[in-house]
Amino acid sequence: MKVKIVYNNEIHLFKQSNPTLQGIRQHIQKIYPNIDSNFTLAYNDSENDQITLSCQEDLQVLIDEGTPTIKVFVLTSKKPQEFPQGKMVHKRHTCDGCYTYPIVGSRFKCLECHNYDLCEVCQAKGLHNNHKFFKISTQEELEQFRKEHWGKFGHWGHGGCGFHRGGPHGPHGQHGPHGHHGPFGHETFKQIREFFQDPAFKEIKQTVCTIAKDTFSVIKTELEKHKNSKQEEQKQYECNTNDVQETQQEIQQEPQQEIQQEIQQEIQQETISQQNDCKIQEEFEEKVKGLIQVLQCDEKVAREYVECFKGFPLDEIVDMLLEKQ
């Protein structure tokens, strides 16, 4: 079991497998050699009541419950007259803001929480100001509070006051304030616990669930819409892509067509030129034949003449040769 020792704004932690009250006391005296040996030990139970640890049986309750960590407050005795005259001492109450015990002067009792009290200082600081408080600073106010609000908290119905539940121990005297230890996150934890216990929470939970359900269905619908529109876009994109591909094919086909056309043109031109060549050849042969007939010469000589006067018609070639002769 871990034991946290809270004293004079300090917390000491030590471990004892089978803690004894005597062992804890000895440990405290070791840490604080000058401490008044009449100090009292106490802890806050789950209902935030301060329980005095005056004998081993008191501690045994915690050991039997299997409490992993126990926070022990070291309370040094102070004489009652040390409290300011005329101020009410709330012997059973620790301030939930600064953990001062007991609350002296005005005690501010939260009317909404099961067990939440503040001292004057913490109330003035505005702690827990989201809830209404009942100010108790006189016996009359305490009576009034009991008359108006007692029993309002159903779970207060435990027998007795929960104080000294380890058995009768006699009065433990009044303890001076044991110093401010600052918040331990205790308040937050307590608020959360109270919030979960609150019947209103059930209602809130249902409302939240309904809202969440609605929100999820809206989100789902929106997601589906989004998905559909994406699919539509994808389709559109694919269509466009096809168009683009077709265009690309066309673009690619175009030069091919051009090339083919050019080739065809070339072929045609070649054919024409070949045809022309044939024609020229035919004409050449005709000229050669004609020249042989007119001049009565060799074919070889006739070819040479025709070759020599290429481009001239046959009759002109004949005239030129006859003149020459």
Which residue is listed with tokens 């050669």?
Answer: 288
Question: Could you tell me if 45 and 82 are in contact, meaning their C-beta atoms sit under 8 angstroms apart?
Answer: no
Q: Does 75 bind Zn ion (CB under 5 A)?
A: no
Q: Does 110 bind Zn ion (CB under 5 A)?
A: yes
Residue 82 CB, nearest distance to Zn ion (Å)?
Answer: 18
What CA–CA distance (Å, rounded) separates 17 from 63?
10
Of the listed pieces 8-16, 88-96, 243-251, 293-301, which binds Zn ion according to CB under 5 A? 88-96
**Site residues (CB under 5 A) for Zn ion, limited to 225-254:** none
Q: Does 28 bind Zn ion (CB under 5 A)?
A: no
Residue 22 CB, nearest distance to Zn ion (Å)?
Answer: 32
* Total residues at interface with Zn ion (CB under 5 A): 10
Residue 120 CB, nearest distance to Zn ion (Å)?
Answer: 8
| From 116, 179, 302, 305, residue interacting with Zn ion (rule: CB under 5 A) | 116
Q: Which is nearer to Zn ion, 108 or 305 (CB)?
A: 108
| From 41, 51, 113, 306, residue interacting with Zn ion (rule: CB under 5 A) | 113
First to last CA, the chain: 149
Q: Does 127 bind Zn ion (CB under 5 A)?
A: no
Q: Does 131 bind Zn ion (CB under 5 A)?
A: yes
What CA–CA distance (Å, rounded) separates 192 from 184?
14
The residues near 88 (Cβ < 8 Å, ≥ 6 apart) are 104, 105, 106, 107, 136, 137, 138, 139, 142
Q: Which long-range contacts (CB under 8 A, 24 or more apart) does 152-157 make?
A: 153/114, 155/114, 156/114
Sort 116 into a burial class: Cβ within 10 Å, 0-12 / 13-18 / 19+: buried
Task: Please name which of 93, 66, 72, 58 lies closest in space to residue 13, comparing C-alpha atoms.
Answer: 72
Residue 204 CB, nearest distance to Zn ion (Å)?
Answer: 16
Q: Does 112 bind Zn ion (CB under 5 A)?
A: yes
Rounded to the nearest 5 degrees, what angle is found at the Cα of 281, between the Cα atoms of 268 and 306?
145
Q: Does 166 bind Zn ion (CB under 5 A)?
A: no
Residue 97 CB, nearest distance to Zn ion (Å)?
Answer: 4
Q: Which is nearer to Zn ion, 198 or 304 (CB)?
A: 198
Q: Which is nearer to Zn ion, 88 or 113 (CB)?
A: 113
Q: Does 97 bind Zn ion (CB under 5 A)?
A: yes
| From 24, 41, 42, 98, residue interacting with Zn ion (rule: CB under 5 A) | 98
Q: Does 104 bind Zn ion (CB under 5 A)?
A: no
- Interacting residue ranges for Zn ion, rule: CB under 5 A: 95, 97-98, 110, 112-113, 116, 119, 122, 131
